[in-house]
Amino acid sequence: MNLVNVVGLGMGPADLTPKALKIIREAQVLVGGRRHLNYFPDHPGEKIILGKNPEETLAALLPLVETRKVVILASGDPNYFGIGPLATKILGPARVVLHPNVTAVQAASARLKMAWQDAAVVSLHGRGWEELAAALTGAQKIMAYTDPAHPPEAVARFLLDRGMGEARLCILENLGQEDERVSWLQLEEAGARQFSPLNVVVILKEASLSTASETLTLGMPEEALAHDAGMITKVEVRAAALAKLRLQPGLILWDVGAGSGSVGLEATLLLGGGQVFAVERDPARAAMIRENRERFGVPNLKVVEAAAPECLAGLPDPDRVFVGGGGKRLEAILEEASRRLRPGGRMVVAVTLLETLELTRNWLKSRGWQMEVVQLQVSRDRPLAGGAYLQALNPVWLISGGLAEK
C-alpha cells in the first residue's frame, strides 16, 4: 500500500526541508490548490486541482493510491485549519503521513515580533462570524484567517458595528512572497480598503497591546516603511535631501509628491514643534503615508490627499519645500512654492530624468534663484559567488537653493 504524503509548504517552497522537497520531486501525482501547484510548474507528475469540493477530489484519489505515489500540497501546517484532518478521514489514518510546516499565524507573529501563545486564533474560512464574536468576548488579542466572504475590510466593519472603534488591525498580506506587506490600520481606514486574498488579520482590542508605534530614526531602511513597489526615496538620497533642506525646530515643510512620506517622516525628527504637510494625490500612496505615520506615532505630519498645486492654497506658508514628484505639473508647483515660500526659505527638488533636471534648472535660473545641483550615484553591496559586488541604483539629482537676496 502506497502512503499519501500531505506536505505543508509553510509560506512557500522556500520553507520546505530537503526531505519534503524529495517527497514532492518523487511524486507521481501532485494534488493541491492552483497556487500550490503553480509553485512547481516543471513537475512531471500528474496534477490534480483541489478545488471547491475537496471531499470529492480526495475520495477520487483512492484508486490512484494503489499504484502511484500521491502527494497533497497544503498551506502552512496541514493539521492547522488545513486539509490534513479531512485527508486523514477520507483516505484513512493508516494511509496518510502528515508533514507540518510553519503556519501563517506563526509567520505573522514572527514578523510583528509579537508573542501569540496568549492570542485567540479563529478561522473565518467557510464559516460565519460566530467564532470571531465568541473570541472577542474574552481575548484581548485575536488572530484570524479570512476568506473572500470575510475579507479584512469586512472584519473591520464587523468590529465597528460592535462598537469596538478603539481596536486596531494589522493585516499581513502575501506572507513569504515578494510582495509581502504588513499594515497597521484604524478600523475606519481598513474598512474602506481592499486587500490581497492571501492574508492574516491581527486584532488588538487595546491600544496598549499594539506594536505599531515603532521607533522612527534618521536613515530608516526602505523595508521599514510601507511603499509602492520600490517607489520610495532611498536612504542615501533622503539623508542628502534633509541636509540640503537645512531644517530647524519650528519650521513648516511642504513635502510635495510625498509618495510613501519617507522624507517628511524623518524631517519631523529635525523640526521640533514644526509641521510637515505631506501632499500626495494618489489615494493608495496617501494611505501608505498614513500607515507609516501611525506605525511610528508621528503627530506633526498631516497628509494632504489632493493634487498639487491646487491644494497648496489651503496650506500655511512654508519655510522649506521638498518636491519629490509633480510630473507635468512641476512648473506650476514650483511657481506656487516659490510665491509662498517665506523669507529665507529653501527648496529642494529631487529628479531622476534629464529633461526634468533641465526644466527645473532653467525655471529656477530664470527667476533669479541661487541654486546648486548635486548628482547622487549610490551603489550597494550585494552577494555574489561567495563574495560581494556593488549594484548601482538609478542616479538622482538634487536641485536646492533659495531666492537671491536683493
User: Strand 396-403 and strand 346-351: pairing?
Assistant: antiparallel
- Tens place of pLDDT per residue across the chain (406 aa): 789 999 999 999 999 999 999 999 999 999 999 999 999 999 999 999 998 889 999 999 999 999 999 999 999 999 999 999 999 999 999 999 999 999 999 999 998 888 899 899 999 988 888 888 888 867 889 999 999 999 999 999 999 888 788 888 999 999 988 888 898 888 998 999 999 999 999 999 864 444 445 778 899 888 888 888 777 899 999 999 999 999 998 899 999 999 999 999 999 999 877 899 999 999 999 999 998 888 887 878 999 999 999 999 999 999 999 999 778 899 999 999 999 999 999 999 999 999 999 999 999 999 999 999 999 999 988 888 888 989 898 999 999 998 765 4
- In the chain, how many domains are there? 3
Q: What is the pLDDT of residue 212?
A: 44
**Is there a single domain that holds both residue 32 and residue 181?**
no
Looking at the fold, whether 82 and 146 belong to one and the same domain comes out as no
Beta strands 301-304 and 120-123, pairing class: unpaired
Say what the pLDDT of residue 206 is.
66
Q: Is residue 124 included in any domain, yes or no?
A: yes
Q: Which amino acid is at 182?
A: V
Between strands 396-403 and 369-376, the pairing is: antiparallel
| Residue 250: closest CA among 187, 316, 314 | 316
376 with 230, same domain: the answer is: yes
159 & 289 share domain: no
Residues found in the chain? 406
Same domain, 228 and 375: yes
Range of the domain at 82: 4-102
Position 214 in a domain: no
Which residue in this structure is represented by grid cell 538634487? 398
